[in-house]
Structure 1
Amino acid sequence: MTNRTLSVADAIRTRRAVRHYRPDPVPGADLETLLDLAIEAPTSWNLQDRSIIVVSSEEGRAGLTLATGGQPQPQEAPVVLVFVAEPWAWREDRSDVYAHARGNGAWSEEFIAMFSTASTAFQAGLQDRGLLREYAVKDAMIAASFVMLAATELGLATSPMNGWDEALVKKAVGIDDREDLAIALLVSVGYPAERPRHPGRRARSRNVYREHFGAGW
């Protein structure tokens, strides 16, 4: 049953990575909600330099199964979300981004002019240091995290998937000719056929420090 009263804290504590799924389809309204919430995730310089490809066809999921070395998630989950990073988004026309901010009363004309110049200079600096892909992947991963928590609130299970061949993932989603795009993460979505127990986490004192790495909290 869909749980629409789960707090963010409870979603964080109860979310588990699920590898096996029931064949029940994800309701269209819930999928739309997940996508809308993913779009709301923070994004550096408001570039929104990530895309989500929704894969639900048998052919598409078979391609992702191949790309992931036969992992069960694409075979069993009715939906797999492919998060694509767009390192070169900063070179594209961003007038719609500015129009939304202007229309919402969030940014003034003066701020937009300053922001456009500063963000372009920042991205050019990333390009010089070979960090464009890294920054875009970070944005995509943040969006994926939002999806996983939102799915938990909706009673859906997810699994962030690693261990895939990027070239094969790109082929499966029709962007094998796009060297300007990068695959950030695959996230399976569906109803769980298992209820994994929480394996536990190390004590906070093991990996939370004050001011400097290794300094006790």
Structure 2
Amino acid sequence: MSIQSMSVAEAIHVRRSVRHYRADPVPPSVLDTLLELAAEAPTSWNLQDRSVVAVSGEEGRRGLEWATGGQPQPQEAPVVLVFVAEPRSWREDQGDVHALARRNGAWSAEFAAAFAEASREFQEDLERRGLLREYAVKDAVIAASFVMLAATELGLATCPMNGWDEERVKKVIGIDGRDDLAVALLLSVGYPAEERRHPGRRPLERNVFRERYGREAAVR
């Protein structure tokens, strides 16, 4: 295993999306580290309304190959992480979350009570506007982004995957028929069998603005 010492900025710059992988397995300790770091990613209202399913068995990866229309990543990567969004988790008892924050000295009892009430009102507003799924998917994708950078620092390659059938993915990971859950992202993880060059990015002034969105002004 190649362990590299790099800053977060370096990991952002060198990370590429890799579609082809060597057969070398990801050591269990390394996979455990990635999953632990996924849990550390920011989460709105500290709801932690996302889960990760690590698929490394041959049957599961064949299933994800089927669910992704034959893309090479599940065939070749030793691990595919499926990030699951949980849009309705806010309705569950969050007492353990609040108790842990109090034990860690992060929240006072008064703050925890006010925070719980404000969170409930916020989620109810999202539900009225039909945005619960979108909100939970954002949380799951943030976790996936953290894993991509952590994997890069550990000498691993990743590829965030689109182009999959959600119902098929759900069936593979055992949540078929669960309308309360959503598949947010698939992420292949392994040792690269190819070198991907940076295709480049547009100049910052094309996509980066200050104070107000400026694309319309730029094209006049």
Q: TM-score, normalised by structure 1?
A: 0.98
Aligned match of 1:128: 128
Gaps of 5+ in 2: none
Tell me the equivalent position of 2:66: 66
Instruction: Provide structure 1 residue ranges, at least 5 long, that are not aligned to the other structure.
Output: none
SS of 2:80's partner is: strand
Distance in 1 (CA, whole Å) between partners of 2:213 and 2:8 is 28
Which secondary structure state, in structure 2, belongs to the residue aligned with residue 90 of structure 1? helix
CA distance in 1, matches of 2:80, 2:104: 33
Cross-structure match for 2:176: 176
Report the Cα offset of residue 146 of structure 1.
Answer: 0.1
Tell me the equivalent position of 1:44. Answer: 44
Residue 99 (structure 1) shift: 1.3
CA distance in 1, matches of 2:180, 2:138: 16
Q: Residue 99 of structure 1 aligns with which residue?
A: 99
Secondary structure of 1:51's aligned partner: strand
Letter in 2 for 1:92: E
Distance 2:115 2:109 in 1: 10
Residues in 1 aligned to 2:80 and 2:93: alpha-carbon distance in whole angstroms:
29
Residue 8 of structure 1: aligned partner: 8
Indicate the residue corresponding to 1:205 in structure 2: 205
- Equivalent residue number for residue 187 of structure 2: 187
Match of 2:147 in 1: 147
**Coordinate RMSD, CA, aligned:** 0.9
1:85 counterpart residue number: 85
Provide the secondary structure at the position in 2 that maps to 1:114.
Answer: helix
Distance 1:117 1:51 in 2: 24
2:197 corresponds to which letter in structure 1?
R
> Given residue 213 of structure 1, which amino acid in structure 2 is its aligned partner?
Y
Identity %: 72
Structure 2: distance between partners of 1:70 and 1:163: 10
Mapped to 1, the partners of 2:192 and 2:156 lie a distance apart of: 7
The SS at the match of 1:158 is strand
* C-alpha deviation, 1:4, in angstroms: 3.7
How far 1:164 sits from its partner (Å)? 0.4
Q: How many residues align?
A: 216
3-state secondary structure, aligned to 1:209: coil
What amino acid is the match of 1:99? Answer: A
Task: Show structure 1 runs of 4+ deviating over 4 A.
Answer: none
Measured after TM superposition, the shift of residue 14 of structure 1 is 0.1
| CA-CA distance at 1:177 after TM superposition | 1.9
Give 1:3 deviation, angstroms.
2.5
Q: Distance in 1 between matches of 2:203 and 2:96?
A: 46
TM-score by length of 2: 0.96
| Corresponding residue SS for 1:60 | helix
User: What is the letter of the counterpart of residue 130 of structure 1?
Assistant: G
CA deviation after TM superposition for structure 1 residue 101, in Å = 0.3
Letter of the structure 2 residue corresponding to residue 6 of structure 1 = M
- 2:57 corresponds in structure 1 to 57
Shift of 1:77: 0.2
Aligned to 2:20: 20
